[in-house]
Amino acid sequence: MSKAYVNTDRKGAVAVIRLDNPPVNALGHGLRLGIASALKAAEEDAGVKAVVLVGNGRCFSAGADITEFGKPLQSPNLADLIMAIEASPKPVVAAIHGTTLGGGLELALSCHARVAAKDAKLGLPEIKLGILPGAGGTQRVPRLIGAEKALKMITSGDMMPAEEAKASGLVNEVAGDLVDAAAKLAEALADSGDLPRVRDMSVPGDRDTFDKAAAALTGRGRVLPAAKACVDAIKAAIEMPFDKGLAYEYELFKQLVSSDESKAQRHVFFAERNAAKVADMPADTQAKPVSSAAVIGAGTMGGGITMSFANAGIPVTLIETTDAALKRGLDTILANYKRSGRTPQAEIDRRMGLITPTLDIEKAAGADIVIEAVFEEMEIKKEIFGKLDRIAKPGAVLATNTSYLDVNAISAMTKRPADVLGMHFFSPANVMKLLEIVRGKATSHATLATAIAVGRKIGKVPVIVGVCDGFVGNRMLGARLKATEQLLLEGALPHEIDAAATSFGFAMGPLAVSDLAGLDIGMRARRARGVRAAVADAITDAGRYGQKNGKGYYRYDEADKRKPIPDPDVEKIIVEASEKLGIKRRQISQEEIIQRLNYPMINEGAKILEEGIAQRPSDIDVIWVYGYGWPAWRGGPMHHADQMGLKTIRDWLAEQARKSGDASLNPAPVLDRLAREGRGFASAS
């Protein structure tokens, strides 16, 4: 029996067409065909005088089925369906609940009216996939809410809550009993004979205001093609008749969907959804219930992790060893909540009320998950896990927030290694989305599933990785830091390296990032491993620790403590380090800097794949996009390598290894093999 993508029932003289394509009513061919058929049947039924479209499940529709992008479209396409709704002789009202996004919102905009549930959120997030709304979104939204508001909504991709959507004119009503309210509105429209169509409206608002907003958007540094196209499409809504604007929008959409930027962003979209899938996990694996948490350590990481649980409504016990450290941690958490200025005091109070501070580690006994977030010192972590083995309740998940230490050695301190894993958060943990979940050799599937579920619950993007020094992200970062150090010794200055990185698309260069993180932290990590770095060590030995004390690779003025200023004193330290090692300095091009930052990192990623530390190349891309600022429009390092061609990267690495004598630059066997076969990393997934 073929799947029924819609079902129709009646509410008096109103046909209620229910979209039924779980989980999010993606507008694939089956659902489009089902809606079109049900609408035609309602139009031909003399007993029906109006129609309501509503989604079954958790939302109206989360948008188009992007797996269809780049494939021949089957009729009816979304534009055909929208035209059919708009042309219906009987009023059609959209009853919107949950998240109504992209093509789902464009479908709703083709209806003669819209009623939203109180929990509804509406958005056009296509720009996050490197495209623009291609089924009339850029033409209809400005006609409803004005060009300036439409520009902000479309170029940010952010969701608009129901009440704001009502105030702006995007929806007609906000109602508690959604279907009942939509049916009443549909009947009222039928009785009045009024069939209001968005396409017949003009764009309200002041043109100058829009032009200023558009100029501000396109005048900020690098402007991605999708952002510029959104501006141009909204201008068309102002200047052109509706059908011409619609045709122009679709032309822009077709150009964008075939662009490298959009392909990269769509790659990241799918990669994120695959990253938490575990190849060998049985389908019936159940996550353990988690209704409470404990965090050990109230420093920067522990405080951020605590905030993540409180933000998600999960009670959390925050454990420290001294009153001073605990007070400092709580004060920092409160300051972080207040700093944004967007969280109401009542909500701050509610979240702070979910945090129970204590100096007694025994209070971790009742927690369903315990996360250790103390200094990166193995002996301290081992001691804590020995205590947790005695204290924590049976079945509790015991996680370490280590960024590079051996999770297996830590779990060996317990009699329950199946319950132990790594949960590597990124700083600031209350903001950064990436969560590396480190699977130990004894970690059970249930423990793994629980960490994944918790990660999603607290708003993170979980990626499963294996145990090795630095796991995936920091291990690859190590290759970049090594390359950065060598570039400094050979002739590049900090601002030149960072300029190359930002021109590539990073928000910050590697040396500005090091200053932000704290050079003393990097120094401690190097010394713990017995690693020397001539330039980095000389700079920290000179008492330069980064932004925290106003001087690192750059200097920082009191007037703007975050603005890096090139410092002649640093150049002197770097030149002296080169001289001591007998290295003749030279001018290094931006192109070479980018190659030397990225290609060794890609090579390390290939080794990580070969060792099974990452499950798939796209997992590495997710880690670098969400944890290290790799530009999403370049798709992550492994996707970028495929775009560059693995042969190009293999040959460059082989030549650099030959010239420098650095064996770590020899191409990884899997990279060499794929290059010889003319394949990319994606083909090896």
Active site residues: 106, 126
Report the DSSP pairing between strands 160-161 and 121-123.
Answer: antiparallel
Q: Cα Rg for the chain, rounded, in angstroms?
A: 28
Phi, psi of 19 (to 5 degrees): -75, 130
Q: What angle do CA 334, 335, 340 make, to 5 degrees?
A: 110
Q: DSSP alpha helices (H): ranges in 458-589?
A: 473-490, 494-504, 510-517, 519-529, 534-541, 568-580
Token pair 């990241």 in the structure block, residue:
268
Nearest to 622 by CA among 474, 407, 433: 433
- One-character DSSP codes across 441-496: TT--HHHHHHHHHHHHHTT-EEEEE--STTTTHHHHHHHHHHHHHHHHHHT--HHH
597: amino acid identity, one letter: L
Q: What angle do CA 648, 650, 651 make, to 5 degrees?
A: 65
Report the DSSP pairing between strands 160-161 and 316-319.
Answer: unpaired
679: amino acid identity, one letter: R
Q: Are 463 and 451 in contact (CB under 8 A)?
A: no
Question: What gap in Å lies between CA 78 and CA 73, rounded to an integer?
Answer: 9
Q: Are 162 and 288 in contact (CB under 8 A)?
A: no
Q: What residues are paired with 174 via a beta bridge?
A: 116
Neighbours of 335 (CB within 10 A): 10
Positions of E strands within 188-245: none
Could you tell me how many residues make up the chain? 685
Q: DSSP alpha helices (H): ranges in 18-72?
A: 29-44
Please name the residues in contact with 31: beta carbons below 8 A apart, sequence gap of 6 or more. 5, 6, 19, 21, 25
Please name the residues in contact with 297: beta carbons below 8 A apart, sequence gap of 6 or more. 319, 320, 372, 373, 374, 401
Please name the residues in contact with 380: beta carbons below 8 A apart, sequence gap of 6 or more. 374
Q: Are 650 and 675 in contact (CB under 8 A)?
A: yes
Per-residue DSSP letter, 289: P
Sheet holding 99-101, edge to edge: 99-101, 121-123, 160-161
Q: For residue 302, is it left (φ>0), alpha (ψ between -120 and 50) or beta?
A: alpha
Q: What angle do CA 209, 210, 213 make, to 5 degrees?
A: 90
